[in-house]
Amino acid sequence: MDPLLREVRFPELDIPVMIASKLSVQPSGPIPVAAGDSLYLSNLDDVIGARVFTPTVYFYRSSGGGVPSAKVIGILHDALACVLVPYYPLSGRLRETEKGKLEVFFGTDQGGLLVEARSNKSLDDLGDLTVPNPAWEPLVFKFPKEEPYKLLDMPLVIAQVTVFSCGGFSLGLRLCHCICDGLGAMQFLRAWAATAKAGRLIVDPEPCWDREIFKPRDPPRIGFPHTEFMRIEEGSNLTERLWGTKPVQKCYTITREFQARLKALAQTDSFLCTTFDALAAHVWRSWVKALDVRPSDYQLRLTFSVNARRKLDKIRLRDGFYGNVVCLACAVSTVSELAKGGHQWTTTLVRDARLGITEEYLRSTVDYVEEHRPTRLEFGGKLTITQWTRFSIYESADFGWGRPAYAGPIDLTPTPQVCVILPEGEADGMILCICLPKSATERFKELLSRVNWREGQT
């Protein structure tokens, strides 16, 4: 395996967690809504892919004697109550309106949820804290018998503080994706952390709602086919390969040198691309080849979110907007084209899909969702790559106890057709996490470590 790309293994373990208390967190001051009021969600907030909670976990090591657990809970509770004043939509709930559209509504006894938990394990018992581990799942609170993808009548911010025997602790967080995209979530997290650290409310920038700015046009104007939402017909062995047995989560560190090599191989004097374009292309090709997808003429999709904020010209977002401003880019290829086309050819597909996200594409997405309102997530012949490297997640999560030892997601196995690219903590590389059937893991690792492989050379 290329020394610039290394697999990081994590231990299988059991983390016993005892729930000590559950605290409702209400805004600490007046908010500009009353019981019975509601807030509009845009179709970018309400699209099927955003109808999820995003779980993350943050680990904080004990320094010296550690921070008393009661003090940790108190600081986080009071700071959350403070930030729920300017971020008051997170104190509401979601409900369906006509045609299945979601909105935020406000009633009595809502607010966020803060859970206090304890474990007799120490952070050292958890092993390597540099990459996500599915065994950390007990550190993020779920209600007993909670249905998958449940959103309605749920707290929109759910936090669990788990104190370990060593004095260190974790913060397991679930934020509703309908309320904020990745950048919006970091804006909220920074405000909560800064408020906890200072002992007084700090929000910079001041949050604004403004979801009506993305209302659909009248009449709607759908100017693109929006392949990203289209039904995927079963016609390959991919679903059976991925879902036939329980997938395993694999993580790899990718150095800056390896990223640069991939990008250099894709570029020419007349063709420029980003590191993401080149890396996504390489992962997609390696994933398809390792899974031995058949038949060769089966059409595959690669989807990934594109931040559309910088694409906007006619639409003016105020500083502090924390809603969803992402579109789903989609590259399409047959199995044989991916294998034979090579690295540069596939990078071109990814680059063109990324550059295809424009302000007009965003407007068309809003109108498409208004007209068709997709109600199911499509898997089939698709890989989705999510990039977290620009979220400043480590820098955003200093609540006064320093930078977390780890900050990021936990378990990818419930959605094995997702690949996540994370920042590498203290290092300057990336962590690539992906789920595969065990039988394909060695082949994928081999292909991933070889740049610009072609059919017939493998």
Domain span at residue 426 reads 227-390+413-448
User: Tens of pLDDT along 273-329?
Assistant: 999 999 999 999 999 999 999 999 999 999 999 999 999 999 999 999 999 999 999
The stretch 238-243 carries a mean pLDDT of: 84
* Contact of 389 with 421, CB cutoff 8 Å: yes
CA-closest candidate to residue 104, choices 176, 161, 197 = 176
- Over residues 36-57, mean pLDDT: 96
pTM, 2 dp: 0.95
In angstroms, the CA 407 to CA 388 distance is 11
Domain boundary residue, one of 184, 214, 244: 214
453 within a domain of the structure (yes/no): no
In a domain, 219, yes or no: no
Of 94, 86, 103, 105, the closest CA to residue 27 belongs to 86
Indicate whether 196 and 303 sit together in one domain.
no
Tokens of 411: 């378990």
End residue of a domain, out of 183, 214, 245: 214
Specify the pLDDT at position 266.
95
Average pLDDT, the chain: 93
> In 279-321, which ranges are E strands?
299-307
CA 446 vs. chain centroid, Å, equals 27
Average pLDDT over residues 102-122: 96
Tell me whether residue 457 is in a domain: no
Exposed, middle or buried by CB within 10 Å (0-12, 13-18, 19+), for 218? Answer: exposed
Residues 69 and 108 in one domain: yes
State whether 41 and 155 are in the same domain: yes
Residue 350 counted as domain residue = yes
CA distance 85 to 201: 9
65, 184: one domain: yes
Domain count, the chain: 2
Contact 275, 389 (CB under 8 A): no
Annotated catalytic, 398? Answer: yes
Q: Say if residue 236 is in the same domain as residue 279.
A: yes
Residue 77 designated active-site: no
Residue 81 forms part of a structural domain: yes
User: What is the DSSP code string of 245-290?
Assistant: S--EEEEEEE-HHHHHHHHHHH-BTTB---HHHHHHHHHHHHHHHH
Residue 439 and residue 327 in one domain: yes
Q: Check 77, 177, 282, 343 and give the catalytic one.
A: 177
Residues 209 and 76 in one domain: yes
Whole-angstrom distance, CA of residue 258 vs CA of residue 253: 10
Convert the pLDDT of each residue in 367-419 to its tens digit: 999 999 988 877 778 999 999 998 999 999 999 999 999 999 998 877 778 99
Q: pLDDT per residue over 313-341, tens digit each?
A: 999 999 999 999 999 999 999 999 998 99
pLDDT of 196 higher than 60: yes
pLDDT value, residue 425: 78
- Whether 290 and 190 share a structural domain: no
Q: Give the max Cα distance, the chain.
A: 67
3-state DSSP of 131-155: CCCHHHHHHCCCCCCCCCCCCCCCC
Q: Are residue 11 and residue 88 in the same domain, yes or no?
A: yes
Tokens of 237: 């062995």
CATH number of the domain bearing residue 294: 3.30.559.10
Q: What is the mean pLDDT of residues 229-249?
A: 86
Residue with tokens 């203290």: 426
How many Å apart are CA 283 and CA 274, to the nearest integer?
14
**pLDDT for residue 231:** 86
